Amino acid sequence: MAAFAQAATKAVSKVTYDAKTSDLKNVTVDCSGDTGLTTDHGVKIPDTDNWLKISDGEHSGPLLLEDQISREKLHRFDHERIPERVVHARGFGAHGHFKVYDDSASKFTFAPVLTDSTRNTPIFIRFSPAQGSRGSPDTVRDVRGFAMKFYTPEGIWDLVGNDIPVFFIQDAVKFPDFVHALKPEPHNEVPQGQTAHNNFWDFVGLMPESAHMVCWVMSDRGIPRSYRMMQGFGVNTFTLINDQGEQFFVKFHMIPELGVHSLVWDEALKINGEDPDFHRKDLNEAIENGCPPKWTFGIQVIEEKDEHNFDFDILDATKVWPEELVPVQIIGEFVLDRTVDEVFPELEQVAFCTSHVVPGLGFSDDPLLQGRNFSYFDTQINRLGINWEQLPINRPTCPIFNHNRDGAMDSRINANELNYYPNRENRGHPIAPNRTSGGGYVDFQEKVQGIKQRVRGAKFQEHFNQAQLFYNSLKPHEKGHLIRAFSFELDHCDDERVYKTYTELLRNIDLDLAKTVAENVGGIAPESPARPNHGKIAPSLSQDYFMPPAPTIATRRVAILIADGFNYAEVQTMRGLLAMAKATCWIIGPRRGEVKSESQISGVEGMTINADHHYEGQRSTLFDAIFVPSGPKHAEALMKNGRATHWIREAFGHCKAISAIGEGVAFLKHAIQLPEVDLELNPDVGKVSTSYGVVTTGKYSVLSAAAETFTFGPND
Binding site for ligand HDE (CB under 6 A): 85-88, 91, 126, 128, 145, 147, 160-162, 167, 172, 175, 235-236, 317, 351-352, 368, 371-372, 375-376, 379
What DSSP state is assigned to residue 209?
Answer: G
Please identify which of the residues 95, 162, 197, 253 carries the catalytic annotation.
Answer: 162
Query: What is the separation of C-alpha 424 from the centre of its chain, rounded to a whole number of angstroms?
Result: 51
Give least dist CB 2 to ligand HDE, A: 28
Contacts of 558 (CB under 8 A, 6+ apart): 578, 583, 584, 585, 586, 623, 624, 625, 626, 627, 710
- Which runs of consecutive H residues, i.e. helices, occur in 412-527? 465-473, 476-491, 496-506, 511-521
Question: Residue 111 and residue 97: Cα distance in Å, rounded?
Answer: 17
Are 372 and 179 in contact, with CB atoms under 8 Å apart? no
Nearest to ligand HDE of 95, 619 (CB atom): 95
How many helices (H) and strands (E) would you count in the chain? 21, 21
Give least dist CB 429 to ligand HDE, A: 32
Give least dist CB 177 to ligand HDE, A: 11
Question: Residue 578 and residue 625: Cα distance in Å, rounded?
Answer: 11
Give least dist CB 26 to ligand HDE, A: 23
Are 474 and 542 in contact, with CB atoms under 8 Å apart? yes
Give least dist CB 377 to ligand HDE, A: 8
Give least dist CB 382 to ligand HDE, A: 9
CB-count burial class (<10 Å; 0-12, 13-18, 19+) for 195: buried
User: Using omega within 30 degrees of 0 as the cis cutoff, is the peptide bond preceding 359 cis?
Assistant: no
In 3D space, the residue among 537, 21, 713, 617 whose CA is nearest the CA of residue 274 turns out to be 617
Contacts of 561 (CB under 8 A, 6+ apart): 588, 615, 626, 627, 628, 638, 644, 647, 648
Nearest to ligand HDE of 351, 485 (CB atom): 351
Residue nearest to ligand HDE (CB): 145
What's the N-to-C CA distance of the chain in angstroms? 27
**Cα dist from 594 to 564, 616, 663, whole Å:** 9, 16, 21
Are 216 and 162 in contact, with CB atoms under 8 Å apart? no
In 3D space, the residue among 296, 278, 337 whose CA is nearest the CA of residue 557 turns out to be 278
Give least dist CB 100 to ligand HDE, A: 22
As beta bridge partners, residue 160 has 147
Catalytic residue at 426? no
Q: Is there a binding annotation on residue 376?
A: yes
Question: Residue 559 and residue 543: Cα distance in Å, rounded?
Answer: 26
Nearest to ligand HDE of 93, 664 (CB atom): 93
Phi and psi torsions of 60, nearest 5°: -80, 135
Task: Specify the amino acid at residue 595.
Answer: V
- Cβ atoms within 10 A of the Cβ of 57, count? 5
Give least dist CB 235 to ligand HDE, A: 3
Give least dist CB 627 to ligand HDE, A: 38
**Cα dist from 547 to 540, 707, 712, 715, whole Å:** 11, 20, 9, 11
- Which runs of consecutive H residues, i.e. helices, occur in 82-134? 112-115
Are 481 and 264 in contact, with CB atoms under 8 Å apart? yes
Give least dist CB 234 to ligand HDE, A: 6
Please identify which of the residues 88, 253, 356, 654 carries the catalytic annotation.
Answer: 88
Nearest to ligand HDE of 61, 186 (CB atom): 186
SS3 of 561-603: the string is ECCCCECHHHHHHHHHHHHHCCCEEEEEECCCEEEEEHHHHCC
Nearest to ligand HDE of 89, 518 (CB atom): 89
Nearest to ligand HDE of 125, 514 (CB atom): 125
What DSSP state is assigned to residue 385?
Answer: -
Give least dist CB 91 to ligand HDE, A: 5
Nearest to ligand HDE of 85, 279 (CB atom): 85
Phi and psi torsions of 383, nearest 5°: -75, -40
Task: Specify the amino acid at residue 369.
Answer: L
CA quadruple 129, 133, 139, 142: dihedral sign: negative
**Crossing angle between the packed helical segments 175-182 and 198-206, to the nearest 10 degrees:** 150
Nearest to ligand HDE of 160, 331 (CB atom): 160
For 147-177, the DSSP string reads EEEEEETTEEEEEEEESSSS-S-SSGGGHHH
Nearest to ligand HDE of 383, 633 (CB atom): 383
Question: Residue 604 and residue 7: Cα distance in Å, rounded?
Answer: 36
Give least dist CB 592 to ligand HDE, A: 36
Catalytic residue at 162? yes
The annotation places the binding site at 376
Residue positions annotated with a catalytic role: 88, 162
- Binding residues for heme are 376
